[in-house]
Amino acid sequence: MANATFLLSAGGSIVFGGSLIVEPGRTVPKVVELCIKTIEARGLETAGVYRVSGHMASIQNLKRAFNDGSLDVERLIEKEPDINTIAALLKLYFRDLREPLMLFEFYPSFIAAADISDYNEKLYTIKSLVHSLPESNFNTLKYLMMHLGRVQDQYHTTKMDSANLAICFAPNLLRQEVDDLTSIINTGKQSSIIDTLIEQREWVFDPYPEEDEEVEGEQVEEAEPADQVEQVDQTETALVGEQSWEEDPGLDEYDHGNSYGEQVHLLQDEHLDDQSAHHEDAESNSVFTKQQLQHDNINPLDPS
């Protein structure tokens, strides 16, 4: 992650309509922490939280209190009876940021990631982009996504799943600098990125293991994305002709002390000898899956 940069507007630390500012002693902006803690304390039983509008007059009063630097904002938030007003205030904060939380310069890369057809590659690309954000942006995005995950976990009462939450938050978090027709065209892709961040929040925000870092003498390996059909442990097979290694009764003869390449050649020789004995012509091909390369600790994002 890049180092955090705290920017102040010309008129001081404007909260709504200014830059992302994390106050001293905090890891996320005060307004974000106050709103989220309040919603989690008394809003997870509210159906349609973040989808239902709040009271506009109350929202504007709270916004003004934050921008005026009122010392009474915590009490005002606590006394606000309508949880949808607090939820709307949080969305407004992100929408009013001078530069979106996920940054203008990252917008094309996130949109391009949404177009990646291979799901695992898409996840690794999104994770790389997220970890490239400035520290304050990364921490705030993580704090928000973990919260939205907890809202989704209470779907039986909130009726808000990751897709619904993504629709509510995507335009506020991920937008381009100039609003034009492409903004409308890319709406679905923006939501797709936020949906993925909510669903895969634990893995996406988990730090990359340090290179060659060891714990108790064992190499630390990065966890795989959760709940994916294309998991490495489900697809670690290489095909020889029409027969997979998993189904080859002779595999045990070769699977110790040999590389994947050596195993393929040994299996090919055995098949060719058998085919020659029966005077049949055949061609043996080996196919390595992308997941096997990942199993061999080859990073799909490594340009080398």
Number of residues that this document lists for the chain: 304
What separation in angstroms does the CA of 121 have from each of 92, 224, 295? 33, 12, 14
One-character DSSP codes across 190-245: HHHHHHHHHHTHHHHHSPPPPTT-EETTEE--PPPPSS-TT-HHHH---EETTEEG
The pLDDT tens digits for 242-299 are 333 333 333 333 333 343 344 434 434 444 444 444 434 433 333 333 444 344 444 4
Does the pLDDT value for residue 301 go beyond 50?
no
Output b/e per residue, 69-83; b: 16+ Cβ within 10 A. eeeebeeebeebebb
What is d(CA 244, CA 251) in angstroms, rounded to the nearest whole number? 10
Q: Is 286 helix (H, G, I), strand (E, B) or coil?
A: strand
Q: What is the pLDDT of residue 275?
A: 43
Q: What is the pLDDT of residue 208?
A: 81
Arithmetic mean of pLDDT, 189-212: 89
Does the pLDDT value for residue 148 go beyond 70?
yes
DSSP state of 4: P
What is d(CA 299, CA 304) in angstroms, rounded to the nearest whole number? 9
What is d(CA 267, CA 238) in angstroms, rounded to the nearest whole number? 11
**Token pair for residue 65?**
């209190």
DSSP state of 2: B
What is d(CA 250, CA 270) in angstroms, rounded to the nearest whole number? 9
Residue from 249, 162, 170 nearest 200 by CA: 162
Q: 70-73: list long-range contacts, CB under 8 Å, 24+ apart.
A: 73/30, 73/31, 73/34
Q: What is the pLDDT of residue 75?
A: 96
Arithmetic mean of pLDDT, 93-108: 97
List residues bridging with 244 in a β-sheet.
Answer: 239
The pLDDT tens digits for 113-127 are 999 999 999 999 999
Are the beta carbons of 254 and 263 closer than 8 angstroms?
yes
**Mean pLDDT over all residues of the chain?**
77
Does the pLDDT value for residue 2 go beyond 80?
no
Arithmetic mean of pLDDT, 158-162: 97
Q: 236-240: list long-range contacts, CB under 8 Å, 24+ apart.
A: 236/289, 236/291, 236/292, 236/295, 237/289, 238/264, 238/286, 238/287, 238/288, 238/289, 238/292, 239/285, 239/286, 239/287, 240/264, 240/267, 240/268, 240/271, 240/284, 240/285, 240/286
pTM recorded for the entire structure: 0.69
Candidate from 3-7, 42-46, 91-95, 173-177 with smallest mean pLDDT: 3-7
Q: Is 165 helix (H, G, I), strand (E, B) or coil?
A: helix
What is d(CA 121, CA 264) in angstroms, rounded to the nearest whole number? 26
